[in-house]
Amino acid sequence: MAYWHLHLLADFAQLAEKCVARCGLIAGFSETGDSLTRTFLSNPMRDCHRAISAWMEELGMRVSLDAIGNLHGLYGSGTQPRRLLMGSHLDTVPCAGAYDGVLGVCVALAVVEALRNVSLPFDVEVLGFSEEEGVRFRVPFLGSLATVGCFDPALLDLQDSSGHTVREAIQQFGLDPARIPDAMMDTRAIAYLEFHIEQGPVLDTAGESIAAVRAIAGQSRLEVVFVGRANHAGTTPMELRRDALSGAAEWIMQVEEHAQAVNGLVATVGKMQVSPGGGNIIPGEVRASLDVRHSCDETRTSAVRDMCRVAAQIAFRRGLELSFKEQLNQPAVPMNQHLVDLIEKAILRTGEVPRRMVSGAGHDAMILAKKAPAAMIFIRSIGGISHHPDESVHVEDVEKAIRAGSLVLTDLAVEGVQPA
């Protein structure tokens, strides 16, 4: 059967409707009664696995669960010399929406269903990662780290808010933490493809449905501390003050102006702790967060240096002490160029204008890229809303993502995949 006839055979509209309905069903598996929260190996994750396993089995997939709790569905003989991986994560943030993560798994299953009558020269494995958000144990990507063989055994001793360790959570789920090394991806894997809502407003603003992700932005996180002198707000003249909050506020404006002047750069001061914190006391200390992201590591690190230099100038002029603590320096991860090209070509064949984007958020694809060529397809988030109960998608956009994903797989069947 010619691969290019695929679009004439599958009912993509019906598959898209099924995807959206399945996400709605999975959204009911929550740790909280009035909102959606599903964390690493919590009880609702069992219900999630049960439902998705049934859908996998309907497609003739062999279902398994590895020692870190990642759900696997293998389509094909299992003996092919090559294997194509697709998937996303099944955990959520607190008070989440219905589509972040799980939509990627449902779309992957829809792609498999669309290809049921097509003989592919590779097996297809769909992965539902157990942990990506870092909510329960404050460390993200536990599922995909195990998949690429980078799970640090020291992580087993991390504790959640109830005092339970990662090791205990795994054991309580009926799994064996000693077998985590067995969770490593099959060496026959030729590529990893992830579908994900954009989690931002770019596609929605442009009126576009889907896009190819060309890179996942690098990220710097710092804690910046301004120290002045607390004093009485009514008796201390303005010219004699050492107001830590005023210094921090001036710096925050400079951070915003710097980010606006550099194409593609985003910088955020999202958290501040002001001490002593009284309405009639001059602030003596401010602890502020700084989050800087860009697809070019040199641009990002240069921006961080400039922002720190400006903070030092402000502190000196105002008579403040200043300190920095780096909390994260995560390099940018480019997606595989050949896969991005195939996605762009597939998007064009769905009738959409091809768009390449940088993801400002982290995804499992950035972890899988350590071991296999990886790429992503973004799906429009209506209103740019994500990590919120109002998160939603258009069924028509999901349909185009399934079409594009199916075309990418059939193109890979003909062309193969090239290294990054």
Q: Where are the domains of the chain?
A: 3-216+332-415, 218-330
Dihedral sign from CA coordinates of 262, 211, 132, 125: negative
At the topology level, CATH places domain 218-330 in Alpha-Beta Plaits (3.30.70)
Q: Mean pLDDT for the chain?
A: 95
The lowest-confidence range among 6-15, 208-217, 281-290, 353-362 is 6-15
Query: What per-residue confidence (pLDDT) applies to 420?
Result: 43
Confidence band for 365, pLDDT divided at 50, 70 and 90: very high
pLDDT-above-70 percentage for the chain: 97
Rounded CA separation 54/48 (Å) = 10
- To 5 degrees, how large is the angle CA 343–CA 401–CA 360? 70
Where helices occur in 350-391 by DSSP H, the ranges are 364-368
Structure tokens at 52: 């998705």
Residue with tokens 């010399």: 81
Residues with Cβ within 8 Å of 377's Cβ and at least 6 positions away in sequence, in order, are 193, 194, 195, 196, 210, 211, 212, 213, 343, 347, 401, 404, 405
Give the bridge partners for 72, in sequence order.
64, 127
Query: What per-residue confidence (pLDDT) applies to 184?
Result: 97
- Digit-coded pLDDT (tens) for 276-290: 999 999 999 999 999
Residues with Cβ within 8 Å of 332's Cβ and at least 6 positions away in sequence, in order, are 215, 216, 217, 218, 294, 295, 296, 297, 300
Q: Is 163 left (phi over 0), alpha (psi -120 to 50) or beta?
A: left
Rounded CA separation 189/318 (Å) = 57
Residues with Cβ within 8 Å of 372's Cβ and at least 6 positions away in sequence, in order, are 85, 185, 189, 190, 191, 192
Rounded CA separation 389/410 (Å) = 35
Query: What per-residue confidence (pLDDT) applies to 81?
Result: 93
Closest CA to 246 of 284, 289, 290, 303: 284
> Please, are residues 129 and 70 in contact by the beta-carbon 8 Å criterion?
yes
Residue 398 pLDDT > 90, yes or no?
yes
Query: What per-residue confidence (pLDDT) applies to 414?
Result: 87
Residue 78 exposure: Cα atoms within 13 Å on the Cβ side: 8
- To 5 degrees, how large is the angle CA 36–CA 39–CA 42? 105
Residue 134 pLDDT > 60, yes or no?
yes
pLDDT-above-90 percentage for the chain: 95
Q: What's the first-to-final CA gap in the chain, in angstroms?
A: 30
Other beta carbons within 10 Å of 11: 12
Looking only at the bridges linking them, the beta strands covering 210-216 and 356-359 are parallel
Residue with tokens 């005023």: 246
More confident residue, 413 or 299: 299
Confidence band for 1, pLDDT divided at 50, 70 and 90: very low
Residue 186 pLDDT > 60, yes or no?
yes
Query: What per-residue confidence (pLDDT) applies to 9?
Result: 64
Confidence band for 417, pLDDT divided at 50, 70 and 90: low
**3-216+332-415 is classed CATH 3.90.330.10:** no
Residue 308 phi, psi (nearest 5): -70, -40
Enter the pTM of the model.
0.90
Other beta carbons within 10 Å of 41: 24
Rounded CA separation 266/56 (Å) = 39
Confidence band for 117, pLDDT divided at 50, 70 and 90: confident
Residue 85 pLDDT > 90, yes or no?
yes
Residue 369 pLDDT > 70, yes or no?
yes
Mean pLDDT along residues 175-180: 98
Residue 405 pLDDT > 50, yes or no?
yes
Mean pLDDT along residues 104-109: 98
Mean pLDDT along residues 15-26: 98
